[in-house]
Amino acid sequence: MSVLSLKDQLKQRAALVEVKNADHAKTEKDSFLFDRREAAAIEASALHLLALDGIEQLKKLDPRFGSYQRILFGESSKSFKRMLVTKVESSEMDKHLESLLPLLSNFFLLKVTHQVLEYLIRIYMINRFNIDALMGMMLPYHETNIFVRMLRIIKIADTNWSFLAESSNTGTPPTRTFFARYAHKSRWFREFICETVKKYVQNGTSYQILHSFYGTLMVTSYTLFPVTSDRISDIAPYILSGVSVQDEDYQLSTCIILSALSSYPNLKLSAEFVTTLMVSLSKFPLPHRRQHAFTCLLLLLQNHPPPDLPEDSFKELMRWHDLPDIIHNATNAGNDVKPFLSFYLVNMAKYAPRNSLGLRHLITIIVKVKQSVKAVIADVVKNILLEAYPIWQELRGENVELVKKLFEVM
């Protein structure tokens, strides 16, 4: 059943209703798809058919939509009156609606999604009772006319979203800079964005455009407006969450935000925060996101150097079998790897003589990035000697040869 044919049928039915019931035709109803007067003449049963068609199409894109078919789109839903239910019943309904909306977000621009939203507006009045969830769903699409079309029927007056009144009145999509300015100004809005992203990740409904919006918005805000200590305090828990959660898009957007913060002039991050970040960046990145995590490590060491490389971070980095290549790539990209090498190789030199794996690891890194390690070679040699000399008589076989090779490559 196509959207166009259904819409034509609905218009025909609306015309009949207008003739039979002039009083009813004069009333208006909120609508995403239709004119308010036209929508008032369309029966709930017709919108129900439209919504069912939308759900069927969406199930092909994500089977999880099927679980809402009975709960929110059953036959009995057509007679549901949101204004007449108890507070407990309304709260229970909110749980279902506010888990469906994030799922719809990834498909917000599709016509089949609009069919579903039309029914949710008519029956459940989500544009009045579920404003935060609805706004969270559509914010990544703020530069589209579809965003504005929905915004104009959301009752934002006397809510946290009243700052969008001008866009609602004029029909002009709000810009990224507009949101970045408001994010700088409003702690509530910053936390809303961060919490929405975190919640979507936890519920398995996150998607690339959401994280692109999140990362771009925060970086734009930090670029255009001063970064204060309270802003760091606000976002710190979400940065730690983002680098620790096994969601590649969340990790990437968090690394982008962290890189911007780490490079911000005259900003000092606390030693405790930097240490915790370094351990998390070493421990949790997905293998194909390690290069981004390593870039963040470099920026932290360069701009907010701790007294030493945290031991837990050092141990985790030793497990990165691709670390020599990552360092090499960072060098080729023009990144300053010397602060990292100063910490890492010196620590490695203390550990390596007793461990053949550590020696191999150290040799590989030095061979890979010879030009970058010249500045720290003296300290590496010193620590190798300090560690190796007392136990030289204990070194056997492979380790002796590896230490010799290490001195050769240095």
Based on the fold, state whether residues 219 and 291 are members of the same structural domain: yes
Could you tell me if 269 and 241 lie in one domain? Answer: yes
Within this chain, do residues 169 and 184 fall inside the same structural domain, yes or no?
no
Quick one: CA torsion of 388, 394, 395, 396, rounded to 10 degrees? Answer: 170
68 within some domain: yes
What's the confidence (pLDDT) of residue 20?
A: 46
Q: Are residues 198 and 284 in the same domain?
A: yes
Based on the domain organization, do 180 and 168 belong to the same domain? no
**pLDDT value for 343:** 80
Instruction: Residue 158: give the domain boundaries.
Output: 30-173
Whether 402 is covered by a domain: the verdict is: yes
Q: Is 268 found in the same domain as 226?
A: yes
Is the residue at 6 inside a domain? Answer: no
- The C-alpha angle with vertex 77 and arms to 160 and 67, in degrees rounded to 5, equals 80
pLDDT in tens, 69-99: 999 999 999 999 988 889 999 999 999 999 9
Note whether residue 292 is domain-resident: yes
Domain shared by 241 and 329, yes or no: no
Residues in the chain with pLDDT < 50? Answer: 1-3, 15-26
* 21 is a domain residue: no
Torsional sign, CA 219, 224, 230, 232: positive
Which of 379, 385, 381, 375 minimizes the C-alpha distance to 409?
A: 381
Whether residue 239 is found in the same domain as residue 350? no
Q: How many domains does the chain have?
A: 3
pLDDT of residue 161: 98
Neighbour tally for 297: CB within 10 Å: 28
Single out the residue in 151, 173, 195 at which a domain terminates. Answer: 173
- Distance, in Å, from the CA atom of 390 to the CA atom of 22, rounded to the nearest integer, reads 100
Residue 138 inside a domain? The answer is yes
> Do 236 and 113 fall within a single domain?
no
Instruction: Confirm whether 398 is domain-assigned.
Output: yes
Residue 154 and residue 34 share a domain:
yes
- Residue at which a domain ends, from 157, 173, 189: 173
Q: Are residues 132 and 49 in the same domain?
A: yes
Same domain, 192 and 124: no
Confirm if 152 and 98 have CB atoms less than 8 A apart: no
Q: pLDDT by residue (tens digit) across 33-63?
A: 999 999 999 999 999 999 999 999 999 999 9
pTM comes to: 0.83
Residue after which a domain boundary falls, among 149, 173, 197: 173
Residue 316, domain member (yes or no): no
